[in-house]
Amino acid sequence: MATIEEALEIERIERDIFRGASTKTQLPRTFGGQVAGQSLVAAVRTVDARYQVHSLHGYFLRPGNPKEPTVYLVDRIRDGRSFCTRRVTGVQNGEAIFTMSASFHVGDEGPEHQDEMPVVPAPQELPDARTSMSPERLWAMREWEHWDIRTVPQEQVGRRDGLAAQQQVWFKYRHELPNDPLFHVCTLAYMSDMTLLGSSKVIHPDEPTQNASLDHAMWFLRPFRADDWLLYDQQSPSAGLGRALTAGRIWNQQGELVAVVVQEGLIRNLRDPGESFPPGTA
């Protein structure tokens, strides 16, 4: 399957117009993380190198066709001394399938604080998914074979009182990535759409649903590497009316909070058995 370098590859075809590569996949619809990641790469290509992305907000508008490339149109909304803003629209066959705003910051000095990282088993204490995944989930291992993803068993989750649903996942890219910090940010944007909506299903494991990402927001708080272990501490505070709200905090192994993600997803009862498709598809 595609490496992350291939999944995030885009070609500049005009000053602010880019074409994202289509890659080999088993999914019937384009993986939402790939659309978000390619959109962010397109935005980054239009920003001066002194700016670093600190947030993005995106909406998945239509299912993408994974066999076709996506064209990304970038609007240069604002260029300021400290911040700049870009809006990106992903298009297939003349229709928008994704829209995103991204904000960039030069970085400043100010007060610092953060929550404490939850206490969970270290990733080395959990089995590699390649040897422990159930047969019905093997498609996921094939689709994301370049990622090491280790889910903390529910009985070992570092729980917080009053939360309806929690899930914790260690992950990292299996191969060494380039040193460019922005490449790691775009890689995390790709990865952040994976497993998050699943946190809404941990207390409804036997209910068949149609699942898809609807919107996605991220804040990048501190530097990190996507080829080092990261803990994705996920929760779903609410589900109802066919939608679920999910949120995730991402920590490095040193206990630094490096990113926060919030996503709403479709999680509705199946209208017919042929409707189901994997979560995280746009």
**Look-up of token digits 């064209």:** 71
DSSP state of 232: E
Q: Which of 103, 200, 213, 235 is catalytic?
A: 213
Question: 3-state class of 280 per DSSP?
Answer: coil
Tell me which of 22, 39, 199, 263 is the catalytic residue.
263
Active site residue 213: yes
Question: Is 263 part of the annotated catalytic residue set?
Answer: yes
Cβ atoms within 10 Å of 263's Cβ, excluding its own = 27
Helices (H), the chain: 4-7, 32-44, 129-132, 138-143, 181-191
Instruction: Give the up-direction half-sphere exposure of residue 86: CA atoms within 13 A in the CB hemisphere.
Output: 26
Helices 181-191, 32-44: axis angle to 10 degrees equals: 160
Sheet holding 17-20, edge to edge: 10-14, 17-20, 70-79, 83-92, 95-105, 52-60, 209-220, 257-269, 243-252, 230-240, 166-173, 147-151
Query: Distance from CA of residue 127 to its chain's centroid?
Result: 23
Asked if 148 is an active-site residue, the reply is no
The catalytically annotated residue of 192, 193, 200, 236 is 193
Decide if 37 contacts 189 (C-beta within 8 A): yes
Q: What residues act catalytically?
A: 193, 213, 263
